Amino acid sequence: MIFDILTIFPHILDSYLEDSILGREIKKKTIRVRFHDIRAYSEDGHKKVDGTPYGGGAGMVMTPQPIYDCIKAVKKKNRGAPVIYLSPTGKLFDYKMAKRLSKKKGLILLCGRYEGIDDRIRQLLVDEEISIGEYVLTGGELPAMVIVDAVTRLLPKALGNKESAREDSFTEALDGKKEYPHYTKPRVFKKLEVPEVLLGGNHAKIDAWRKKHLQ
């Protein structure tokens, strides 16, 4: 799966991708994550990427030309990938959406800044708009990374047996419910004991207990 992330801050997420599971999946080539600097596409002499809003009002708006050219260039390298604009007004991201997106060969993730993008980009080139929650962040980079992370966990080649996403919260295996509580060593911690049934090795009983404790 190829993720192309279009942003004016192409290095803001570097460290997150270097470590842990995402870093490993990049090394394994399960995923590729490429950043594209929207500013590099600006035809403005000062490489400007924002302008004042027509109609007045506070804040700046991202100008269409650099985004348009950037998307057009990236689409050639990631054919068939939908262009997704991260936006607080988009459809709320959830497990089902992550599952659907995990079946694509690639995703093009457009990150806004300032008051957002010139609407003509939405009209011309955006296939989908996704919000990661009903609050407003300063930019679309964290939402893009949320999608990369959630989608990667669902790729068949990602995660080992130990980290399997198959029985995570919201999955079909758990009937869309949130998962049961987990315990590990020690058996007693701050006077709280691990439930007896989990210590016995009776898998039918353990399964029944876990089913009962789905949240």
Query: Which residue in 69, 129, 168, 179 is the catalytic one?
Result: 168
Per CB under 6 A, 64 contacts ligand SAM = no
Q: Which of 7, 42, 87, 152 binds ligand SAM (CB under 6 A)?
A: 87
Q: Per the residue annotation, which of 14, 115, 163, 167 is the catalytic one?
A: 115
Distance CA 1, CA 35 (A): 14
Q: Is 163 a catalytic residue?
A: no
Name which of 85 and 180 has its Cβ closer to ligand SAM.
Answer: 85
Cα separation of 53 and 50, whole Å?
A: 9
What backbone phi and psi angles, to 5 degrees, belong to 97?
Answer: -70, -40
The rounded distance, in Å, linking the Cα atoms of 54 and 57 is 8
Which of 112, 151, 152, 159 binds ligand SAM (CB under 6 A)? It is 112
Show contacts with ligand SAM in window 113-152 (CB under 6 A): 113, 115-116, 131-133, 135-140, 143
Give the sheet arrangement for strand 32-37, strand by strand: 32-37, 2-7, 106-110, 83-92, 128-131
Distance CA 60, CA 75 (A): 26
Q: Is 168 a catalytic residue?
A: yes
- By beta-carbon proximity to ligand SAM, the closer residue of 110 and 174 is 110
Residues acting as catalytic residues: 88, 115, 153, 168
